[in-house]
Structure 1
Amino acid sequence: MRTVAILLCLFPISVNAAVWVITYPQSRVQNDLRYEYPLAMLELALEKTGVRYELKPSSTPMRQGRSVKRLEENLEINVMWSMTDDDREESLLPIRIPIAKGLIGWRFFLAPRGSAFLKAKINEIDGLLEYEPVQGIAWPDTKVLQANGFNVVTARDYLEAKMMVSNRLADFFPRSIIEVLRELESDPDGKLALRPDLALQYSTAMYFFVNKRNVTLAKLIETGLQRALDDGSFDALFYKHFGDTIKQLKLDEIRYFELANPLLPSLTPIHDESLWYKPQN
């Protein structure tokens, strides 16, 4: 706590002395709608600290695996956001405030339009295990699904995963509730459809990460996020982006299978109810 207090005292000096240049991984998808909320939350956190900052993408697009590697090497970028796991927290420094309040662990299914998977009667998890999902090879979700018995088809990145399920090389593509509707709307060929009656849920968090040695930046972002939580602006931004989606996908009444997440780090603040969205039913 003393370190945080010292850093807070220094931040006003930084306002006049320098501009914090915050560089995040550039998406390989043009006008990537998945970036809107994390960037808005990062901007909110930085605004709450009062520092002067410049937020910009990396000079070249990056897949998630490369982003982790470059951040670990302290090259090209100095912040990223990602679902957490033990490996990621071993190589990077997490800011342990889940920026999407755990919604990253609620997974709805995109599948080829007219496919057998969309029509299949699935009442037990064993019925779902008969079908093959696609996920990115470097995504923590892949390991979670494999640990729960799924035969996961892997892709290099999001674009390849979407192509594979569109071309029926996988049965379904689990997407988080914060992504799925916009991705469905942005599907130009109309090859994919949503299965609205079923979901997966596992405990996980999407964090901001920085380089292990960049403690000052980590404290800066953490301080801003905590201030946003305290004054209600964090939740206001969350519901502005996802409130309608939660209602549209009926998250409070959806039938879902709960999965174990053996990759969930022990320091995840799962008992702080203020940090998570909990369905009413």
Structure 2
Amino acid sequence: MDNPIVFNNVDHIYNAGSPFAVSALKNVNLSIPKGKITAIIGHTGSGKSTLIQHLNVLLRPTHGTVKINDVEITADSKNKNLKALRKQVSVVFQFPESQLFEETVLKDVMFGPLNFGVSEEEAERIAREKLSLVGLPENLYDRSPFDLSGGQMRRVAIAGVLALEPSVLVLDEPTAGLDPAGQKYMLEMFVNLHRQQNLTLVLVTHQMEDVALYADNVIVMENGTVVKTGEPLEIFKDEDKLETLQLSLPHSLQFFKDIDTQLDTTYIKETQPITVDQLADEIVKIKQSRTLKSEVSQNV
């Protein structure tokens, strides 16, 4: 998939034409670049979930077009012409373990490739490779996925998505419910895949720290439309806008702002440390600056 995914004047209305019609997307225009990590943020009900279901054609636009790999999807697009796109764009939904259904771990991961016409031998090879990639021990492959722990079940489900070998991977709150160690492992696994295979990653998250640390660009949604796009630093500089959208700053930047207020400096106006490493660097600079000023004062 060489070209970006493009939404052009996309509306989506659930139950269109009925008394129960609900407008979920309104005049959405955006571009998701190939080979980058794009974060989609917005509070609950802003349209994020509806948006990502257009990416692998689980939904089609009521009006407008979505272009994926030069294929234009409209309200009139036929399902039989869209199957290939569903292999190219895969979604890891929140709590993906709820989608497990086969009698063994290995068969569950093999299901996707088999459904797309891969031989059983090749499907098993792919399944074993992806199960190893997500860190599941081989002695569990013949077990029922429902006998595993919650974290292990999630790894099986993610392996099943990766087995389709997509070029675009959409992550819908992929670390929800995991402990901090599990969250870090999962996100770094996805980011490593992105780097090694030039995957396009789309990350839907409420965790601003993940946006600051991993995203190349950000799409901000509110009331079913895109209200702001830009690089993470550009997004987080607009604190007033984030506050009106009920979105927080990354902890690092909020902590730095608190330091700035208490120390009565103007440092925050000149720098925006949005990650922990950047915050550590800036604290060292402040300490060095204050030490230097103190030494100069003593020598006067």
TM-score interval, normalised by the smaller of the two chains: under 0.3
Higher-Rg structure is: 2
TM-score (norm 2): 0.24
Bigger fraction of residues in helix: 2
Q: Which has the higher contact order (CA 8 A, sep 6+)?
A: 1
The alignment's TM-score, normalised by the length of structure 1, stands at: 0.25
